[in-house]
Structure 1
Amino acid sequence: MDITSQVNTAWMLTATVAVTLMLPGLALYYGGLSRTKNILNTMMIVFGGFAVTAVLWVLFGYGLTLGDSVGGAGLIGDPTSLFGMQALLGAETPEGAVPPILIAVFQLIFAGLTVGIIGGAVEGRMKFSSWLIFSGAWATLVYFPVAHWVFAFDAPDGATTGGWIANSLHAIDFAGGTAVHMNAGVAALVLALFLGKRQHFPNVGRPGNLPIAIVGGGLLLVGWYGFNGGSSGGINDSAGIAVANTLIAACAGLLGWLVVERIVRKAATSLGAISGILGGLVGITPAANSVSPGGALSIGFLAGIVAFAALGLKEKLGYDDALDAVAIHMFPGIFGTLAIGFLADPASPAGARGILFGGDWGLLGTQSVAIVSVFVYTFLVTALIAWLLKITVGLRVTDNTETIGLDITLHAETAYDLDDVRS
């Protein structure tokens, strides 16, 4: 392995460790937002969905996502030569490149986290067994194909063909505004609709442990350096600007949310602060290497506002997205992907030119086509999966189970032992 490959591999190993921190970060964030009687179940949903997705990724998900596109159509990868990722053992690493097995693991984490994000919609009312089945079916039928569209690029030598959004449409989605965040947000919306509202919605109770949620959000921020920075594939200009824009957008997102929250609710809350950070992070994810730091400020600040505005839709429209996966992932993901059409800076590593930098409306149109395509596909296929589960094994726990809480009824555990306190 040449020195450039060694340096790039070291960066990707670091990024992989960082992005893995997002798994406990997401579990803590969602767990802290859950009601006390469901904290462990919510964390189990994150870890369980990740585990199912990881196993399927090794078996065939890697091939479906990053394999040679079947028939050159750009719709789905061919898993036949990549079953079990066996072909990656001992695979030759081109000069300056990173070992394929490391890229496979990095992308595995993306897949597992995307499934985990969906779990924010189902707090306190979905069967754990049904969730595990859903996770496997959704990863196979939705995430792997969409990730192929967005993340699989044609090989420079023409040996393999990638996905249609990346290579034919040429939409910009650096680290998953469509494939990860909007994809998961749409699925969360569909599951919320099929599950129905929690008992006593919207007065369902308060988060069980806000400090834990804030710590989880902080871990997500740290992991996002790996999420966006690692999407560069090595140490290069894209990695540097992606890491810088990630932090800038996160801070701006916090301020955007709190400014509006203070105006509307007359208070700036700690939950609002961490929610604004996440909204800013989601917004910058697709644009991390295509905008300037000033553009990252704009996207982060406005994404925080977008997330706050979307929060009220669940009561107005009547869907119960329990932990706000739709508001914090779907809407900022759409916004950040569209914002590239306006704010793409030709001086950035992506080299695209947005409308505000003298570009035409073509880039915005391209971004819009990518958004609509992923939205429609994900909504329809997720609805089919949810419907089939509902009429077969069932989606929702019994009313009594929901009242008691899923921790004790499904997992025979409680998050907090309060007996000594009562004594």
Structure 2
Amino acid sequence: MNGADTAFVLISAALVMLMTPGLAFFYGGMVRVKSALNMLMMSFVSLGIVSVLWVLYGYSLTFGDDIGSGLLGNLDHVGLAGIDPETLTGGKEGIPVFAFALFQLMFAVLTPALMSGALADRVKFSAWSLFIALWVSVVYFPVAHWVWQADGWLFQLEVIDFAGGTAVHINAGIGALAAVLVVGKRIGFKKEPMRPHNLPLVMLGAALLWFGWFGFNAGSALAANGTAATMALNTQVATGAAMLGWLVYERIRHGAFTTLGAASGAVAGLVAITPSGAHVNALGAILIGVVAGAVCSWAVSLKYKLGYDDSLDVVGVHLVGGVIGTLLVGVLAIDGVGGMSQLGKQAIGAFSVMAFSFVVSWLLAKIVDMTIGFRASEDDETSGLDQVFHAETGYDFSTVGGTPTGRSTVPDLTETGAAAPRNKKVDA
């Protein structure tokens, strides 16, 4: 066993784990106050559901020996059976298989959580939990096998996806779009203001994602080596460049540099460099970041033109950013694999995952909707999902600004996220 590499992968796994609560904060600050806890829980619950399913059969379906045609692993390792804890991956000197399994588990946890932002404010928590279980089983595990297992068909095609542009971001982004089309639009979409209720929380979430992403990207080298260092450096510079690209586009188009734009631009850069960062130099990473920031900033506006309600811009950031990073590596790779041939392979990888994930995700969302109902009732959506599904509220205003009459002058954020006039009274 290589002790340094093992420690590096275990630490990277912990960093990737942190990305899921970071995502919860990022999304949680972007919704209206009445459903903030529900948004946090939609990400957080993935840590429970996917962790269990990964041990039961997810690892086996993803990294078990192929059952044929490079589409799926076998079930020889159900419950992680038949795996010696002392077995190493990576050759003569490697890391324990369980370290690798833990690292990949965190990827599986994060991917369905990414989709939750597209469905914010309007779905049943039980239905979402069921959808997660079905989606990772039928969509994520097979696609991850295609991309990362040695006998997966996209791996055999030599599609470059170092850390998850296809398996994670394109997969989640297009799956989210399919689910949105089944569930439908929020009440008041394009008619009522639905502004973020807590932008500092959004910035905190983006910072945690940025921090954890070093484990996500550099850790995918599975060794403390030059590839990991290259990936870490490119992750940083691409993310910074994407943030700047988003802000410049936003300033030209809308006249302001917003904190939400800075946070979203950073995430777009993280997404785009994920598949490509180990195969481009620092200048290539900057170019990928700038393109991703500007294009994703433009792409998030498409939901208003095309009429699909992607609440928190999962499609515009993760799908579009994932496609940009996946395709540009075919053009910018410096290690002898770039060129039109590689670009063609990258396109096959990106669009095959899009087609499979969209169709199956739509069917799974439809099954959930037709059985237990995917969408919350109109009354529940209007009043807010926190009390309905969790019997809690994100903010307790009852002891703030009390008056002798038992009334409070705190801003009314319950409906639109916009502060009411300072003298407006609301129930304590």
TM-score higher than 0.5 = yes
State whether residues 198 and 204 of structure 1, in contact with CA within 8 Å, keep that contact through their aligned partners in structure 2.
no
Q: Report what 1:133 is aligned to.
A: 130
Q: Report what 1:12 is aligned to.
A: 9
Q: Report what 1:273 is aligned to.
A: 262
1:422 CA drift (Å): 4.6
1:288 CA drift (Å): 1.2
State whether residues 31 and 194 of structure 2, in contact with CA within 8 Å, keep that contact through their aligned partners in structure 1.
no
TM-score, structure 1 normalization: 0.93
Q: Report what 1:159 is aligned to.
A: none
Structure 1 residue runs of 4 or more that deviate by more than 4 Å after TM superposition:
none
Counterparts of 1:335-374 in structure 2 under 5 Å?
335-346=324-335, 351-352=336-337, 354=338, 359=339, 361-374=340-353
Q: Report what 1:29 is aligned to.
A: 26
| CA deviation map 1:108-165 (0-9, x unaligned) | 1001100100101111100111001100100000000000000112xxxxxxxx2110
Give the 3 Å change call, closer, same or farther, for CA 259–185 of structure 1 in structure 2. same
Counterparts of 1:166-177 in structure 2 under 5 Å?
166-167=155-156, 169-177=157-165
Q: Report what 1:417 is aligned to.
A: 396
Structure 1, unmatched stretches of 5+, are 154-161
1:95 is aligned, of 80, 89, 92, to 92
Per mean C-alpha deviation after superposition, the further-off stretch among 200-209 and 180-189 is 200-209
Q: Report what 2:48 is aligned to.
A: 51
Aligned counterparts of 2:162 and 2:366: Cα–Cα separation in 1: 32
**Is 1:149 aligned to residue 128 of structure 2?**
no
1:392 is aligned, of 371, 381, 390, to 371
1:404 is aligned, of 360, 363, 383, to 383
Q: Who wins on radius of gyration, i.e. which is larger?
A: 2
Aligned counterparts of 1:133 and 1:405: Cα–Cα separation in 2: 21
Q: Report what 1:247 is aligned to.
A: 236
**Is 1:184 aligned to residue 180 of structure 2?**
no
Structure 2 residue matching 1:289: 3-state secondary structure: helix
Counterparts of 1:193-208 in structure 2 under 5 Å?
193-202=181-190, 203-208=192-197
State whether residues 8 and 96 of structure 1, in contact with CA within 8 Å, keep that contact through their aligned partners in structure 2.
no
Structure 2 residue matching 1:296: 3-state secondary structure: helix
Aligned counterparts of 2:213 and 2:82: Cα–Cα separation in 1: 30
Q: Report what 1:115 is aligned to.
A: 112
1:204 CA drift (Å): 4.1
| CA deviation map 1:255-295 (0-9, x unaligned) | 00000000000000011001100001100000010100000
Aligned counterparts of 2:143 and 2:194: Cα–Cα separation in 1: 36
Specify the code of the residue in structure 2 equivalent to 1:88: I
**Is 1:327 aligned to residue 316 of structure 2?**
yes
1:318 CA drift (Å): 0.4
Q: Report what 1:234 is aligned to.
A: 223
1:49 CA drift (Å): 2.5
Aligned counterparts of 1:323 and 1:88: Cα–Cα separation in 2: 40
Counterparts of 1:260-299 in structure 2 under 5 Å?
260-299=249-288
**Is 1:83 aligned to residue 62 of structure 2?**
no
Q: Report what 1:156 is aligned to.
A: none
| CA deviation map 1:82-123 (0-9, x unaligned) | 111133343422532110001001001001100100101111
Structure 2 residue matching 1:328: 3-state secondary structure: helix
Aligned counterparts of 1:211 and 1:274: Cα–Cα separation in 2: 10
Aligned counterparts of 1:217 and 1:255: Cα–Cα separation in 2: 15
RMSD of aligned C-alpha atoms? 1.0
| CA deviation map 1:213-254 (0-9, x unaligned) | 110100000000000001001112210110000001010010
State whether residues 243 and 263 of structure 2, in contact with CA within 8 Å, keep that contact through their aligned partners in structure 1.
yes
Residue identity (%): 46
Aligned counterparts of 1:119 and 1:405: Cα–Cα separation in 2: 16
**Is 1:225 aligned to residue 222 of structure 2?**
no
**Is 1:106 aligned to residue 94 of structure 2?**
no
Specify the code of the residue in structure 1 equivalent to 2:143: V
State whether residues 49 and 131 of structure 1, in contact with CA within 8 Å, keep that contact through their aligned partners in structure 2.
no
| CA deviation map 1:37-76 (0-9, x unaligned) | 11100111101133211111100000000111103x2100
Aligned counterparts of 1:150 and 1:383: Cα–Cα separation in 2: 22
Aligned counterparts of 2:400 and 2:183: Cα–Cα separation in 1: 35
Specify the code of the residue in structure 2 equivalent to 1:388: I
| CA deviation map 1:171-225 (0-9, x unaligned) | 1010010100010000111111111111111234211111011101000000000
State whether residues 70 and 78 of structure 1, in contact with CA within 8 Å, keep that contact through their aligned partners in structure 2.
yes
Structure 1 residue matching 2:82: 3-state secondary structure: helix
Specify the code of the residue in structure 1 equivalent to 2:131: F
State whether residues 50 and 115 of structure 1, in contact with CA within 8 Å, keep that contact through their aligned partners in structure 2.
no
1:24 CA drift (Å): 1.3
Structure 2 residue matching 1:206: 3-state secondary structure: coil
